[in-house]
Amino acid sequence: MKRIHFEIIESTNDTAKEYAINGESEGFVVTADLQTKGKGRLGRVWSSPKGNFFGSFIIEGINMSRNSELPFLVGISVIDALKFFDNDIECRCKWPNDIMLDGKKLCGILLEVATDNKIVAGIGINLQHHPSEGEVSYPATSVLSSRHKFITTDEMCVALSNALKENLNIWKNEGFYKIRRKWLECAYKINEKIKIKQLDKTFEGIFRTIDDNGYLILEGDNNEKIKINAGDVLYGKL
């Protein structure tokens, strides 16, 4: 792992993309104590207080036709890293790119293309702090508040780097099958009824699986199969 760390930065993802464009390769990570313009999926703001982990890892040498598989690889890598510190922690992967703990958001993942063969995987984990209900539209938690366990950002960076390296090796050499299987083992709300909002459309059904491209498969009325490639998953009362 080659790491560059900042006390304060606008966005680790934006900075990591610049390094990727300028020649840095897989194994390079940008981290920060604070982000002033931390971002999540769909341009949403990511709360970035000191004590939480904010890091962006360069992933290289991939076929861009397979980049839809990467959120699942990164998701299970986050859980693997957390289990290094607490093997009993029961995190779940929420499609497509969140990690849940006790039904609350613990981690967000943002993947962005840097070059024609490099992707930056931004990972934000609530280690010591989490937003209050008034700050965000979803319930959130942290490792410290939920598990009463203190993990430093340096420790998490090493654990994440190791987990990503291991799962990338599996993915590059053996394909998506093992990654998909591992993700499904910890999928949030699988085999339960969910609702997905996609632009001006809403879909409801039983979340059955993800396919070989990472698309979510809903089972609708009359056993109709609905394939979803993007959207916000709602798990409240339907």
* Domains of the chain listed by start with CATH number: 2-185 (3.30.930.10), 193-234 (2.30.30.100)
Q: What is the pLDDT of residue 44?
A: 56
Question: Which segment of 17-31, 38-52, 91-105, 161-175 scores lowest on mean pLDDT?
Answer: 38-52
CB 210 within 8 A of CB 228: no
Give the pLDDT confidence of 126-182 residue by residue, as tens digits. 999 998 776 666 789 999 999 999 999 999 999 999 999 999 999 999 999 999 999
DSSP 116-184: TTEEEEEEEE-SS----TTTSSS-B--HHHHH-----HHHHHHHHHHHHHHHHHHHHHH-SHHHHHHHH
Q: What is the pLDDT of residue 230?
A: 72
Q: What is the pLDDT of residue 142?
A: 96
Q: What is the pLDDT of residue 238?
A: 36
Task: Give mean pLDDT, residues 31-48.
Answer: 71
Give the pLDDT confidence of 114-140 residue by residue, as tens digits. 999 999 999 999 999 998 776 666 789
Q: What is the pLDDT of residue 81?
A: 99
Amino acid at 137: S
Q: What is the pLDDT of residue 64?
A: 83
Q: What is the pLDDT of residue 237?
A: 41
CA atoms within 13 A on the CB side of 210: 28
Q: What is the pLDDT of residue 222?
A: 86
Task: Give mean pLDDT, residues 196-221.
Answer: 91
pTM for this prediction: 0.92
